[in-house]
Each structure stands twice: as C-alpha cells, then as structure tokens.
Amino acid sequence: MDRLTMAAATALASLVLAACGGDTDDEGQGCAQVRVFARPSSGGAECRSFATPCDVPQGYVGCCGGLYGDCVAPGAQCVDDPLDACSPGAGAADCPGVCQ
C-alpha cells in the first residue's frame, strides 16, 4: 500500500472511530479508540505509539505526516517539526511533523 493510500485510510479510520464513542478519560470526556503517535515537546526522542489520545502524557506533542497519519485533536494541523533535521522539499520523501 503506498503512503498516500495509507495516510488516507488512517485519516478515515480516525474519523470513523472518533464518531463511535469509546473509552472516557478522567474528566468523563470521550476518548477515540485510535492509535496516536507523540513525543516529548522538548524534542530529543522518537515518536512513541499510544493506544488512544487519552494515553498521551502531559508535555507531549502529537507526531503526524508520513506513517504517523494525521492529527487527531480537533482543529490541530500538521506542521514541520522545527526540532528535527529533516527539511521538507530537500530530497526527503516525507518529513514527519508535529500537531499544532
């Protein structure tokens, strides 16, 4: 499966799963059953996989783009990660980003 198809499938799955309810976090709010990736906001670490957005620790920022898929937080956009060495358009196939 090519990267574009995989990203589209991940985005669709995120939307479908988010609409299906699921677990609740400590405040009783719904938590989508969708795998997300995040790293410490200070950088210096690879993106880790979490079972739901509610499992991501405080102080982490969502990873997106490439195999990480889209941002799952409402209104968040995938932007270039300023803390990595990857430069979009400089020959790399896909540069991962962070959700803002």
Structure tokens at 3: 């990267």
18, pLDDT greater than 60: no
Instruction: Express each pLDDT in 71-94 by its tens digit.
Output: 988 899 999 888 888 877 655 456
Distance CA 34, CA 51 (A): 6
Residue 62 CA to residue 14 CA, distance in Å, equals 14
pLDDT of residue 16: 33
- pLDDT greater than 70 at residue 5: no
Q: Can you give the residue ranges of every domain in the chain? A: 3-19+35-99
Residue 14: count of CB within 10 angstroms of its CB: 19
**57 or 33, greater pLDDT:** 57
pLDDT of residue 13: 38
Q: Which two tokens stand for residue 79?
A: 């932007």
Residue 6: pLDDT over 80: no
21-48 pLDDT, tens digit per residue, is 444 445 545 788 899 999 999 987 889 9
| 51: DSSP letter | S
Strand 78-80 relative to strand 48-50: parallel, antiparallel, unpaired? unpaired
**β-strands 78-80, 97-99 pairing:** antiparallel
